[in-house]
């Protein structure tokens, strides 16, 4: 199950409640150490040199507990009680080119600026540009607010314990946190707190989507219409269609602006392709509509924009809007219980709220809520680092998968198609929130799988991998 994102005070209460059951801190530290070691082994190769940096607190204890489990690696433990006294030894160890450094210097309880010696130690560590695994929180970062208390360890991966802390999700903390991962099975009791903001875990999707009935046919899984593609932007329509196909709806039809028809049709086989026109718009028995990918040509007819607005305002079908079509959205009410989904990145979200991308990133949950309220309480997939999913009320979910290699043209078109292909299926449109979370997680997990094998993958490669994770 997903886990809530809670404050340090709540985390301390949770730990105290755990100790009250008879569970010992030593046992939890032992389990954390094992999980830290397991992740460290994944990040290194046999005979790599791992440098352990352990401070005086429990984060240091976690790192020390990892040492016995780091088999097949050359390991050196540096207990840092005085950063000034240990700086020379740090220099020596960095000269040995560690394949990984595990940061357990300062824990989540840090509540005051670092002194000159700590700043010098952490600055020297960062200056070597090593791969760093931070335990719970990068040293020097305030876990509630994301505030830097001076120099902060620049982690490659932060393995936080139990649940994420809110400061780790702040945009200002991203350069220090790196990839955020959560270790949940460390011996704590079930978390006694709930939160409006929750962290998605892979196990949230066990048994989802449900198995298809043996006697089903293509009519059982819906027919998606994709209004996409214009002159010079035909590739977005193709990628959206391929993303939709990976979701396996029964049928996919692309309706392209006439100048883009031939290049779109030439690249698709099992998806049908037609020319969009006002007279033939949305023929057939569709179960969902995606509007937007590749509709960026300056000569688009106004009738096309009008048709998209009418769909949003009046259709009883699920309507998913992405890319250029986001700028066409009306502020009108939509039919009660009609499914509406938009998928903006921070720049598009800023245009929707008439603000700046920086403002969006300062408080992504608030931005998502405001966008949803403004556009008929629609579902919003606010893309970017740790994509956020939700609407104007209720729980919000932070996606845990994905990596910077997703920052390629066409990645969002693929995601929009995958989302629409899932929501075209009546059985999956019943639980919109879970379906959206699944789509976003699969998209990121596919990128993670590709990146683990090769760094130079393309969006076309992602299209082939989408939907295979888990």
Note whether residue 121 is domain-resident.
yes
140 and 275, same domain (yes or no): no
**Residue from 109, 111, 95, 114 nearest 152 by CA:** 114
Token pair, residue 149, equals 């208390």
Instruction: Determine the Cα–Cα distance for residues 364 and 345; give it in Å rounded to an integer.
Output: 11
d(C-alpha 352, C-alpha 135), whole Å: 38
Mean predicted lDDT score pLDDT of the chain: 96
User: Do residues 170 and 246 both lie within one domain?
Assistant: no
> Residues in the chain with pLDDT < 70?
280-281, 283
**Residue 281: per-residue pLDDT:** 64
Structural domains in the chain (count): 2
pLDDT at 272 (0 to 100): 96
pLDDT digits (tens, 9 = 90+) for 423-449: 999 999 999 999 999 999 999 999 999
Residue numbers of the domain that contains 150: 3-17+24-193
Contacts of 366 by beta carbon, 8 Å cutoff, 6+ apart: none
pLDDT given at position 280 = 66
Burial of 382 (0-12, 13-18, 19+ CB in 10 A): buried
Q: Are 264 and 167 in a shared domain?
A: no
Distance CA 102, CA 323 (A): 41
Q: What is the pLDDT of residue 439?
A: 98
CA-closest candidate to residue 94, choices 70, 129, 69: 129
Residues pairing with 272 in the sheet: 253
pLDDT of residue 283: 61
CATH number at residue 309: 3.40.1190.20
Whether residue 201 is contained in a domain is answered as no
Closest CA to 267 of 232, 237, 231, 244: 237
Please tell me the predicted confidence (pLDDT) of residue 386.
Answer: 96
Q: Phi and psi dihedrals of 200, rounded to 5?
A: -75, 135
Residue 376 neighbours by CB distance under 10 Å: 20
Last residue of a domain, one of 135, 158, 193: 193
Q: Are residues 179 and 266 in the same domain?
A: no
């Amino acid at each position: 199950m997903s886990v809530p994102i809670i404050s340090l005070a709540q985390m301390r209460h949770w730990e105290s409640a755990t100790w009250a059951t008879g569970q010992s801190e030593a046992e939890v530290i032992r389990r954390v150490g094992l999980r830290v070691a397991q992740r460290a082994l994944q990040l290194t190769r046999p005979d790599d040199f791992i440098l352990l940096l352990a401070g005086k607190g429990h984060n240091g204890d976690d790192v020390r507990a990892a040492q016995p489990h780091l088999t097949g690696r050359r390991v050196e433990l540096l207990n840092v009680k005085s950063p000034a006294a240990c700086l020379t030894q740090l220099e020596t160890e960095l000269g040995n080119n560690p394949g990984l450094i595990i940061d357990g210097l300062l824990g989540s309880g840090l509540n005051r600026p670092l002194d000159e010696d700590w700043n010098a130690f952490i600055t020297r560590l960062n200056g070597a540009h090593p791969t760093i695994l931070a335990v719970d929180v990068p040293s020097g970062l305030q876990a509630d607010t994301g505030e830097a208390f001076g120099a902060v360890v620049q982690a490659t991966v932060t393995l936080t314990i139990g649940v994420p802390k809110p400061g780790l999700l702040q945009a200002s903390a991203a350069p220090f946190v790196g990839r955020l991962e959560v270790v949940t099975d460390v011996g704590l009791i079930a978390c006694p707190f709930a939160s409006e903001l929750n962290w998605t875990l892979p196990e949230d999707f066990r048994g989802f989507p449900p198995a298809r009935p043996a006697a089903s046919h293509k009519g059982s899984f819906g027919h998606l219409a994709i209004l996409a593609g214009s002159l010079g932007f035909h590739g977005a329509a193709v990628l959206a269609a391929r993303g939709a196909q990976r979701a396996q709806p029964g049928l996919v039809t692309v309706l392209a602006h006439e100048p883009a028809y031939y290049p779109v049709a030439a690249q698709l086989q099992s998806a049908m392709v037609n020319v969009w026109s006002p007279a033939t718009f949305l023929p057939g028995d569709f179960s969902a509509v995606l509007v937007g990918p590749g509709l960026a040509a300056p000569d688009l007819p106004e009738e096309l924009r009008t048709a998209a607005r009418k769909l949003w305002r009046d259709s009883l079908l699920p309507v998913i809007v992405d890319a250029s079509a986001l700028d066409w959205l009306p502020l009108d009410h939509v039919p009660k219980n009609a499914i509406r989904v938009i998928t903006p990145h921070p720049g598009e979200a800023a245009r929707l709220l008439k603000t700046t991308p920086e403002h969006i990133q300062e408080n992504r949950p608030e931005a998502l809520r405001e966008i949803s309220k403004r556009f008929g309480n629609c579902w919003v997939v606010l893309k970017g680092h740790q994509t956020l999913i939700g609407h104007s009320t209720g729980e919000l979910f932070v996606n845990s998968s994905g990596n910077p290699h997703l920052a390629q043209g066409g990645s969002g078109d693929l995601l929009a198609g995958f989302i629409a292909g899932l929501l075209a299926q009546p059985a999956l449109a019943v639980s919109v929130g879970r379906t959206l979370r699944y789509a976003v997680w699969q998209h990121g997990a596919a990128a993670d799988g590709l990146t683990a094998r090769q760094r130079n993958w393309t969006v076309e490669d992602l299209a082939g991998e989408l939907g295979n994770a888990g």
